[in-house]
Chains A and B, each alone.
Chain A
């Protein structure tokens, strides 16, 4: 039998439209299946794909046309795509499956298709006023419009922009910057009424007026009137008044461009009607994506949802067949330099909603949060938008905010406390200011990368610039920079974020599948959930391995090759490839004997650095990998797990044993906690502290679990963190006895182990699920608390010390010896 595979003839894919949504879908497709199709693209504009969102900065003279090109001519060539630029498609024959287009020189081209993408975008809506077709009357949609406006600004003085929405104001701002006197004519009572409430709209107007922009609000336009030259000269209103205008820009809205689809006999309602797979409901060979498509009755006009659609479309064209588009929530940000506003969701409120409002017109700050059933459903911010992305996240996740309601208005801002000169407003930073203190990335470098490489998402910026890619402290700043550089709606990322590029499943889905289907190995997880890669990657393998062993203790087998090196070699790798060793010192107490052994080891193995850690232990730095096993043996102390996503230290103060202020024996409590829970792997590192009185010398307020002794017992605090962003632990419960402290701490830990996502610290887990949830599971339900504590004890029972029990801990000892030559 002849087993040779004959190359399959490529299918023909034709795309009508050469805009951002369509080309993004092609990029995604080429990533998944580079050789499946012979691709032809028709684009009505004589340009390659460019970033339409950045036309406003071009108009304002802040960027040039060249700078906003996303895919240059070479990109099409390199990917074997035939591009007919300047060819408007005039006919699609669905019976013979051909697309015909012509250009303004009367030339015609035709292409056959097996599959067809309609990405025809949208058209600006032109008010049918008398005079709407006069010279000097424009829409604001593409490069040609922008160029016409720039040219007009060089010759004429007066401009009128009809429409006080996002696009209209950006056009007006651009024309003003080019020296024109601009009047914005708006039918509504306040500006941007689809994005802003009245107060914020009026604040915006006042701020634009201060820059010289003029307004005619609640204006009924009756006609556009020409001068003797034939060019438009003024805008007339129903009340008889008028404003002079040598240039009139109509920015009253856009409509899905469905003309072609209608001529093809496709079902159109607000847009080309598509299913969750972006397939048209009429013809299975035809897909639609972007502003021309109507998904569940909505035609989206912002870039992030369109990119999500592109991903889904690519998945189906690549014949993976597993992605679905489920709609998006969108947020808005005005791209007028120096004006900060943000809105998302149902910011106007309505029946059954509550509002929290902060208004400081003199200070130029206004915030309005809309809640319904204890969930955030809308936000409108003016003047201070630092927390926009946080509110947007809460809104998308739809989690109850009951427990943080009193603090909601003050925001969280996911910016760390350190690493970026204390800045919290990216707009106020200079280009030379450092944003990312880990990788030394300046604001200017980030802006440049966003513009030059056409980046739209935080992940892309992280990959390209490394900004916020290490400790993540400056994520909020990078998001802000992305917002005003790339356009407002970048953050409408899907609710569920995949673990990594190997899968479309998120952390929760993977956990749930492991539990529901009793999956016991990484291989079975990858097969069951149809991983795209044969054995995952360095991001997903450690996560999946943790979920397996935490869900099925004693049954799932730990896979050391799926662990990061520190957890494979049970020591902490250093920058020169040597390791550090931190033995466990129960509650931070040690003895002369232990210290003597440590000193002897330092001498014997010539360990260059000995350092006291912040967790009341001793760190030996610069140990050669070959020496690790003997160092552990000679020290003869238990493993400190200082390298692991596990219980690390339990910091204690001296307590009532010695301290004249002490009310409780905190050292003993700390030792008991440590002995009960050491060897406990968790989603991330875990630190405890126990203080013997409220003076809190053990700094229990910044630990994952902090216990503070008081005269009548113990107070328990959870979710503290002393790292990038100092987070003060929240009070959970007051307890009477040491046994109770063990039980409640153990139950909380087990809940975190079972529900936390990999690499999610307790503070982030707590913010995600809410304090009410923890209280319900640990405080109110006694049976559940005891069951959790019992499950943790079962999981830890007989767990090996990886420094001594190599077989049981699956330590591959071959790693410690190099292969000899």
Chain B
């Protein structure tokens, strides 16, 4: 039995845009809305170099990663050929205009993935 967690209303996501859902553990989940009012959810992380997909340009059923313009399918999380890679998906339920995510997935799905490190911290890590 799926426990659905209320996230926001569909209108809270910009048309051809996204919002990110902060989790207690793991990276954000990006929820996307296209111009047909379909809602999709992916881990907010490009399989290429970890870019935040929620910041990309949404078109059709795809999003272009803001870092290196990889195209990721919103339905399946797959990178478009010839690029290869896949972003974890999250199930979405839209009921009466309200977007829901699966509470179990929010708590435990793909919590091990991280963002790349930038800035002085990365230099220290490299030396260590």
Contact = CB atoms under 8 A, between A and B. Distances in A.
Contacts of B5: 821
Nearest to A562: B57
Contacts of A821: 5, 7, 21-24, 106
A561 B13 CA distance: 11
A238 interface: no
Among A537, A569, A821, the one with the most B-chain Cβ atoms within 10 Å of its Cβ is A821
B126 interface: no
B59 A818 contact: no
Contacts of B127: none
Given A535-B16, A573-B67, A821-B106, A621 B22 contact: no
Interface string B4-42: 010110001011110111111000100100111000000
Contacts of A537: 57, 59-60, 62, 64, 71
A544 B121 CA distance: 40
A814 B12 contact: yes
Interface residues of A, number: 34
Chain B interface mostly = loop
A564 interface: yes
Interface stretch (A257-265, A389-397, A574-582): A574-582
B39 to A, nearest CB: 12
A534 B55 contact: no
Interface residues of B, number: 44
B119 A621 contact: yes
Given A561-B16, A818-B28, A576 B118 contact: yes
Given A565-B55, A812-B14, A818-B22, A535 B118 contact: no
B82 A577 contact: no
Interface string A537-576: 1100110000000000000000001111100110001111
B21 A819 contact: yes
Interface string A781-821: 00000000000000000000000000000001011001111
Contacts of B43: none
Contact of B117 (A561, A563, A576): A576
B61 to A, nearest CB: 10
Given A573-B66, A576-B117, A576-B118, A819 B82 contact: no
Contacts of A565: 55-57, 66
Contact of A569 (B24, B49, B55, B58): B55
Contacts of A535: 16, 34-35, 59-60
Given A535-B16, A561-B17, A821-B24, A575 B57 contact: no
Given A534-B60, A536-B59, A609 B19 contact: no
A622 interface: yes
A820 to B, nearest CB: 7
B66 A564 contact: yes
A578 B51 CA distance: 10
Interface in A307-323: none
B67 A819 contact: no
A577 B28 CA distance: 12
A820 B118 contact: no
B21 A538 contact: no
A622 B12 contact: no
B55 A573 contact: yes
Contacts of A590: none
Nearest to A464: B82
Contacts of B67: 573, 575
B57 A818 contact: no
A578 B66 contact: no
Contact of A819 (B12, B56, B71): B12
A819 to B, nearest CB: 5
A614 interface: no
Given A534-B60, A565-B55, A576-B116, A818 B82 contact: no
Contacts of B120: 608-609
B15 A578 contact: no
A63 interface: no
Interface string B57-95: 111101010110101000000000010000000000000
Contact of A575 (B8, B31, B56, B118): B118
A463 interface: yes
A538 B56 CA distance: 8
Contacts of B22: 818-821
Contacts of A819: 7-8, 12, 19-22, 31
B16 A818 contact: no
Given A577-B52, A812-B17, 5 more contacts: A541-B57, A542-B57, A576-B116, A814-B14, A818-B19
29 contacts: A534-B35, A534-B59, A535-B16, A537-B57, A538-B56, A538-B64, A538-B71, A541-B59, A561-B16, A561-B17, A565-B57, A565-B66, A573-B67, A575-B49, A575-B51, A575-B67, A575-B116, A575-B118, A577-B55, A608-B119, A621-B119, A814-B19, A815-B19, A818-B19, A818-B22, A819-B7, A819-B8, A819-B20, A819-B22
